[in-house]
Amino acid sequence: MGIPHIEEAKELRKEGKRLGRAGLSQRVLVLLEQYKDPSYKKAIELAGRLHAIALAARTDSYWSEKCGRGYEMERHDIKIFEAQEVKNDND
């Protein structure tokens, strides 16, 4: 991880501390509502936004543990996921 990434992670942890458990959770719920019907591109954009929240959650050991659990679950599930063919993605 380069220096800019370290600085970004520090900034995100600072925001995570400011928001606390409830605020971080609320932010995820707001994003889920905003991206309720995403296109392929928007779905990956949402993944990036959730990644930033996961980094912010590192300031709290319990939330960090929950993020880690979700990460490990996805490491397993992504191996067995079968993508469905889609004809068009206009976004």
The string over 50-69, giving b where at least 16 C-beta atoms fall within 10 Å of a residue's C-beta and e elsewhere, is bebbbbbbbbbeebbeebee
50 falls in which pLDDT band (50, 70, 90)? very high
Task: For residue 20, tell me if it sits in a domain.
Answer: yes
4 falls in which pLDDT band (50, 70, 90)? confident
Task: For residue 70, tell me if it sits in a domain.
Answer: yes
Q: How many domains does the chain have?
A: 1
90 falls in which pLDDT band (50, 70, 90)? low
Task: For residue 27, tell me if it sits in a domain.
Answer: yes
Q: What does the pLDDT average to over 56-78?
A: 97
Task: For residue 23, tell me if it sits in a domain.
Answer: yes
pLDDT tens string 5-36 = 999 999 999 999 999 999 999 999 999 999 99
Structural domain containing residue 66 = 3-80
Task: For residue 87, tell me if it sits in a domain.
Answer: no
